Chain A
């Protein structure tokens, strides 16, 4: 492993980074990322990203919400404070449905937001890329591809050369 964190390539337009991503993907890199000031349509395909795992997290969280709501209402209405309402049985599933629905949605939404944050390793207070002054323009008008030195295919000289050939306007090495 080199002393560098990785390489950072700067592009000026969205189509440039789009096609560059396709080539980085085809080279078989795994530890790399694209950074853009706005969502570029189809970039996930160009990067070869697999489907997000967030839907599964949402499903599990949603069903957990359903189960929690059922348990909560059963415990409250049947065990802890039995109270006959409207001549219904203590355990009346139809009466529990609104809360079951709401908690499913709430837990599902939590799963979506916090699951997304966790998968993105956020919040992250420091990242080696922040060392680059040029990288500040990623929130404005520049597009970047970063390849980590930890990638098995990373080779300092060759990767920098490869990124230059992709049409990057500037390539720099980021310290670890």
Chain B
């Protein structure tokens, strides 16, 4: 169509990050901060503070990789074109998963401390735990974790490798193959991510259960993913690294996803609360009772306002998604809220009073540093745009109405 911006596709070399850019320094900076943070976390404070702080930050940074896998396979599955120019950001995020698998080791080591059910003898005098023991036992728990990481890593590495292979051959059959595999991959991801959130998050309160819990984690992971992607896209555009491939339209697209998943997070989080609140069965309401008492009460309302009402009206209008400053502000805000959300899900199970410890901070920069290092390393190894993806021209002329 008669269009103003027909973007010519830069070469793979032009779209490879040079070593003097800030992005290229991320692996080293991240690694230093990460190792420092992890060491400090496991030196300072008591075991309990160390392990619980570690778990929250772990679930937080894990969510980006999981969210990215969902994003990539869903886009192939629905044959979406708009995302192609920005897909490499998510592809690099997928590759944080194998690194997160290694970072899972401290959780296994601190298992007895983190998970009440893993305590030797915990099930002896607790009929509920005894009944759940065929599922909630150390051996099966570790086996499941290994299975999750194998499945996620295989999908992540496969999709990323195939995408990179297109940089040289531009093969359309690769795209078709990834589309076809999108459906089984999505099935595997949905089930495994759900059960992972049961295992690592929900089972910190082993008496309580919620079948929608996995979807709440998924919704949060998407909010985190799009906030992260929005910030990276703006940074790439500001530095001119994208060579004009990432437009305001892509910012707008990511902004819309951010708005959509903010609403979706609210929808599923409220659904979980609503049924439990209405049913009023003590074994179910106790989870919320803890969170509506004392210092946790304001946190619950802060989530309602900060994770829904404010970002909803903020991103409702068009220009906030298209202007770099407002998009980044909203994204940083939601990244913070995503952390608050996970903190609020996990911590009250260990601490009826809200006590922030130095470990929370050290675990955050520790895992966050390694996470950023892994992402930065994966991101700069290949062109930041899949230059010969058959759908790239479609993505470059993407426009929002």
Contact = CB atoms under 8 A, between A and B. Distances in A.
Interface of A: 14-15, 18-19, 40-42, 45-46, 51, 55, 59, 86-88, 94-95, 97-98
Contacts of B280: 86-87
B316 A41 contact: no
A45 B399 CA distance: 12
Interface string B268-282: 001001100111100
Q: Which 7 A-B pairs have the closest CB atoms?
A: A18-B2, A41-B1, A15-B2, A94-B277, A86-B280, A42-B3, A94-B274
A14 B2 contact: yes
A55 B2 CA distance: 27
B363 to A, nearest CB: 34
Contacts of B270: 97
Contacts, number: 35
B273 A94 contact: yes
B4 interface: yes
23 contacts: A14-B1, A15-B2, A18-B1, A18-B2, A19-B2, A41-B1, A41-B3, A41-B399, A42-B2, A42-B3, A42-B399, A45-B4, A55-B318, A86-B278, A86-B279, A86-B280, A87-B280, A88-B278, A94-B277, A94-B278, A95-B278, A97-B270, A97-B274
Given A59-B316, A87-B280, A42 B274 contact: no
A97 B3 CA distance: 45
A102 to B, nearest CB: 12
A45 B270 CA distance: 41
A145 B274 CA distance: 55
Contacts of A46: 2
Interface in B1-38: 1-4
A46 B2 CA distance: 10
Given A18-B2, A55-B317, A86-B280, 10 more contacts: A14-B1, A15-B2, A19-B2, A42-B3, A42-B4, A59-B316, A87-B280, A94-B274, A94-B277, A97-B274
Question: Contact size class for B?
Answer: 10 to 19
Contacts of A41: 1, 3, 399
A93 to B, nearest CB: 11
A59 B4 CA distance: 32
B320 to A, nearest CB: 13
B1 A42 contact: yes
Contacts of A15: 1-2
Nearest to B274: A94
A51 B322 CA distance: 15
A40 B273 contact: no
Contacts of A18: 1-2
Contacts of A86: 278-280
B248 to A, nearest CB: 14
B396 to A, nearest CB: 14
Nearest to A17: B2
A18 B2 CA distance: 7
Contacts of A97: 270, 274
Contact of B1 (A40, A51, A94): A40
Nearest to A44: B401
Interface string B243-285: 0000000000000000000000000001001100111100000
B167 to A, nearest CB: 29
Contacts of A14: 1-2
Interface in B140-189: none
A42 B6 CA distance: 13
Contacts of A40: 1
A37 to B, nearest CB: 15
B386 to A, nearest CB: 24
Contacts of B318: 51, 55
